[in-house]
Structure 1
Amino acid sequence: MKRFFAAFRSSAKELTDIRCILVTGLLIAVSMVIESQTINLGFAKINFAFLAIAAIGMLYGPVVGLAAGGLCDIIGFVAFPDGGFLPLYTLLGMAQGLLYGTVAYRKLQCGSRTITVKGKRFDLMQLGRLFLARILDVIFINLICNTAANYHYGFLASESSLILAIYGRIAKNLIELPVDLLLMALILPAILKAYEIVFGKRRATV
């Protein structure tokens, strides 16, 4: 529990580092580019903007992740307006960043177990934490909270449309999840490695 709260203190201190501001801003911009390529299915949207939020949470922890998640939603609304501003979605964006920062923050990692696949080394503990964060994101934020927000705002006006949306979201996420996890395994460790090479920061526990 001490390490849990220490992660929040450590993450808050990251905000005083100009590198955190610059890298977070860059990743938010990447998120906006990915968001612009969203495929709207009506009951759900397909995009991989979560990768940028996951990277921010992994690098800088829950406080920075929470702030970045909220900023992504607000900037996305300004850049790609689609109806009125709906604050529940901003809260969900903040919750997503908080989740990745809480579960996958690099400074919370203790030890490592690596495997080598086709010449590439993968840290199993790191990947496990990233995968866990994505699965929790899909279940609690995508399936439960997003559906509830859509119902609250009247996008799902009837019980039948709500049920259809739930089944549609479950099917969409079951199909998309393996792709999400594969992209995380390929992209996020590479981002962390590049970050450590450029800034000379090695993983340290809190």
Structure 2
Amino acid sequence: MQKKQNIFLRSLRELKSTRCLALTALLIAVNIALDLLGLTIRIPPNLRIGFGFLCNASIGMLFGPAVGMMGGVATDVLGYFAGNFTMGGYFPGYTLTAVVGGLLWGLWLYPRKVTVWRAVGAKTCINCLCNIGLNTLWLTITGGDAMRLLLAARVPKNLLLLPLEIALTYFGMKLVLKFYHMLPAREREAV
């Protein structure tokens, strides 16, 4: 009888792979570049969807929750130092949000299983726990605004954007897997 391997240990073992380190670094760099360039879909009146979350989702899907959490830390900290000095001082709460996001992507999508329901579950958890929950808390702490005022704006925004973000997640992860599986078998590590 085969013993089921712990998903976190399996994800940590991915770090031994040069492919994991290289792809994770590339996806972190792409995420930061997308943020710095401001590439977004703008939906009137003032809604916008960034694409950086697809890089974080790809890391979690390909290499698991442990690598996803580490990628979240790296993306947040490097992104801050790469160009977000105009946003004020560094606040570690947003790094914690990035860690939770990496964890959720890895738990929902690893090991490389993308279904519509997994995309729905992952993006819904991210929007509820990270975007609405934690980020609203951090905005309350750092900005001094009342949480109920922030929630009044953030909840509808996240709910309105959720279907489009789910579709982007599902089709984006399918595309990432297609490219990942195009690599020659001798160069791909078996999971």
Decide: shared fold, TM above 0.5.
Answer: yes
Using a 3 Å threshold, how does the CA distance of structure 1 residues 189 and 102 change in structure 2: closer, same or farther? same
Using a 3 Å threshold, how does the CA distance of structure 1 residues 175 and 199 change in structure 2: closer, same or farther? farther
Q: 1:71 aligns with which of 71, 74, 80?
A: 74
Give the match's secondary structure for 2:115.
helix
Q: Return the alpha-carbon distance in structure 2 between the equivalents of residues 19 and 52 of structure 1.
A: 16
1:1-206 aligned within 5 A: 3=4, 6-36=6-36, 37=38, 46-80=49-83, 81=85, 82-106=87-111, 109=113, 126-153=115-142, 155-157=143-145, 159=146, 162-200=147-185, 201=188
Letter in structure 2 aligned against 1:98: L
Give the drift of 1:156.
3.4
Give the drift of 1:85.
0.8
Give TM-score, length-normalised by structure 1.
0.79
Q: Return the alpha-carbon distance in structure 1 between the equivalents of residues 129 and 33 of structure 2.
A: 25
Using a 3 Å threshold, how does the CA distance of structure 1 residues 199 and 35 change in structure 2: closer, same or farther? farther
Q: Return the alpha-carbon distance in structure 1 between the equivalents of residues 175 and 190 of structure 2.
A: 14
Q: Return the alpha-carbon distance in structure 1 between the equivalents of residues 109 and 55 of structure 2.
A: 13
Letter in structure 1 aligned against 2:104: L
Give the match for residue 117 of structure 1. none
Letter in structure 2 aligned against 1:8: F
Give the drift of 1:46.
4.5
Answer yes or no: is the 8 Å Cα contact 2:24–2:59 preserved in 1: yes
Q: Return the alpha-carbon distance in structure 1 between the equivalents of residues 157 and 39 of structure 2.
A: 14
Q: Between the two proteins, what is the percent identity of the paired residues? A: 32
Please provide the CA RMSD for this pair.
2.5
Letter in structure 1 aligned against 2:88: G
Answer yes or no: is the 8 Å Cα contact 2:115–2:170 preserved in 1: no
Give the match's secondary structure for 1:106.
coil
Letter in structure 2 aligned against 1:89: Y
Give the drift of 1:38.
6.6
Structure 1 residue ranges without an equivalent (≥5): 110-124
Name the count of aligned residue pairs. 180
Give the match's secondary structure for 1:198.
coil
Q: Return the alpha-carbon distance in structure 2 between the equivalents of residues 73 and 92 of structure 1.
A: 9
Answer yes or no: is the 8 Å Cα contact 1:62–1:97 preserved in 2: yes
Give TM-score, length-normalised by structure 2.
0.85
Structure 2 residue ranges without an equivalent (≥5): 41-46
Answer yes or no: is the 8 Å Cα contact 1:70–1:90 preserved in 2: yes
Letter in structure 2 aligned against 1:142: N
